[in-house]
Amino acid sequence: MLEVNAAQQIVLAAVKPLSPTREPLDRRLLGRLLAEEIIAPQDSPACDKSLRDGYAVRAADCPSAGTVLQVIGEIAAGAAPGAGIGPGQCQRIFTGAPLPAGADAVVMQEDVELLPTGHIRLRQGPVRPGQWVYPRGQEMHAGEAILTPDTRLTPAALGVLASLGRASVQVIAAPRVGIVATGNELLAPGQPGTPGKIYNSNGPLLSALLAALPLESIDFGILPDEEAPLRAGLERMLQQCHAIVIAGGMSVGDYDLVPRTLRTLGLDEHIRQVRMKPGKPFLFGRCGDRLVFGLPGNPVSAFVCCQLFVLPALRRLLGYAEADCYPPVLPARFREAFAASNDRPTYHPARYELRPTELLVKPLPWSGAPDLRALLAANALLLLPPGDVRYAPTDPASFIPLDRT
Ligand SMILES: Nc1nc2c(c(=O)[nH]1)N[C@H]1C(S)=C(S)[C@@H](COP(=O)(O)OP(=O)(O)OC[C@H]3O[C@@H](n4cnc5c(N)ncnc54)[C@H](O)[C@@H]3O)O[C@H]1N2
Ligand code: MOO
């Protein structure tokens, strides 16, 4: 049976980033990949600016405390610089306002005494040239490359793009991803419960996991274990989405119809099972250029397969470099003794904590693939090898953090 690492490589090898598109600059671009080089159109700041509320002066006029200067006008932020200043003169100025011609320094208003004659007297001196001035081009020069293609857009990058006056940018397109739960036993939240039925937790669980990425996800609700409506539903999803995520009906039972139904829709199956627990009946393939992920119905299995295979593939569709697509695996030490017995490599819900110099990890009580409640307290998946294993406190461990953003 395929190992997890090999399966992850097969998935990523089958995914190509989507094409670039031009989109309006807003917060929906957070986490998207830039697809153009951004060049500064002009110097920033475009002129020398004041960093303080106070007075724009000529430093050469201000050798010492007690210097008296004539105030000849006022410049607010957003105003044109207006008249320049000559010897013995200054202008009232506010933070962000352009320095008038002749001025090369700013004196904070706290450092002057305002005289009734319309003059100021310096409380301190000398004034250094450039004092409280943000010089033209200090942040960037016209023609300078500010952002390279393949930059992942952060809040700071979006702020810088806005500061350049950009209303839109070229980014890698965001995929549309469909999610559906299958099973005759499933009820939508709000429907009256009846014996034998359970509520669909996988749909909301997977939608929430996908919400960590800047893509459009569509929840297609529930499809039954019946061939005709299942086929029609999956076909509709394939028409509308770049990738589809199906949970349930993946195993070998008489009502596990998903794999064979996908085959009638032209599935090119790349993966049918992976040597892991939970999540063994994971399916991956393509229908034409659509990516198809079949997750086992047990909620923790669906969760783990989403973390290990679906999210990495979607990051790749978004244009992330391959190495940035995988969830990180971090080294740690066991916080306490633990004994495990598993027939496959296992991803066990756990809690990690940062101690001054190392990470400690503690497996949580967990009763297996259906036990979604165990994930409530988890912030990690602890990797455990197959077989009977006993760990003592401080033994080495490795885990996947679940709180990575
Ligand atoms: N004879 C075998 N039986 C099973 C095998 C096997 O190899 N041989 N594999 C087991 C493993 S491992 C898993 S995992 C499950 C996965 O099976 P399916 O993908 O077919 O999932 P279902 O049978 O549809 O459901 C399993 C379980 O999860 C519940 N479920 C399903 N969907 C949801 C949902 N949307 N929300 C909440 N709970 C859901 C479902 O009611 C079942 O209890 O198969 C083993 N069997
Ligand atoms: O592989 Mo299944 O997901 O253990 O229960």
Render pLDDT for 250-292 as a digit per residue (tens, 0 to 9): 988 888 899 999 999 999 999 999 999 999 999 999 999 999 9
Contact in structure between 358 and 333 (CB atoms under 8 Å): yes
Mean pLDDT of the chain: 97
Average pLDDT of 93-122? 97
Q: Is the CB of 344 under 6 A from ligand 2?
A: no
Pocket test for ligand 2, best of 202, 277, 375 (most atoms within 8 A of CB): 277
Taking only the tens place, the pLDDT of each residue in 337-370 is 999 999 999 999 999 999 989 999 999 999 999 9
Domains of the chain (ranges, CATH numbers): 4-18+174-324 (3.40.980.10), 20-44+139-172 (3.90.105.10), 49-134 (2.170.190.11), 330-401 (2.40.340.10)
Our CA dihedral for 2, 293, 255, 225, rounded to 10 degrees, sits at 180
- Confidence (pLDDT) at 251: 87
Which residue type sits at 295? L
Please give the distance, rounded to the nearest whole angstrom, from the Cα atom of residue 257 to the centre of ligand 1. 12
Q: Is the CB of 92 under 6 A from ligand 2?
A: no
Tokens coding 46:
């475009």
CA distances from 319 to 107, 149, 185, 305, 313 (A): 50, 11, 38, 21, 10
Taking only the tens place, the pLDDT of each residue in 177-208 is 999 999 999 999 899 999 999 999 999 999 99
Question: What are residue 363's phi and psi, to 5 degrees?
Answer: -65, 145
CA distances from 356 to 146, 223, 359, 389, 392 (A): 37, 49, 8, 28, 20
Tokens coding 142:
């016209």
Name, in order, each residue with C-beta under 8 angstroms of 277's C-beta and a sequence gap of 6 or more.
342, 343, 344, 345, 346, 347, 369
- Confidence (pLDDT) at 255: 80
Q: Is the CB of 214 under 6 A from ligand 2?
A: no
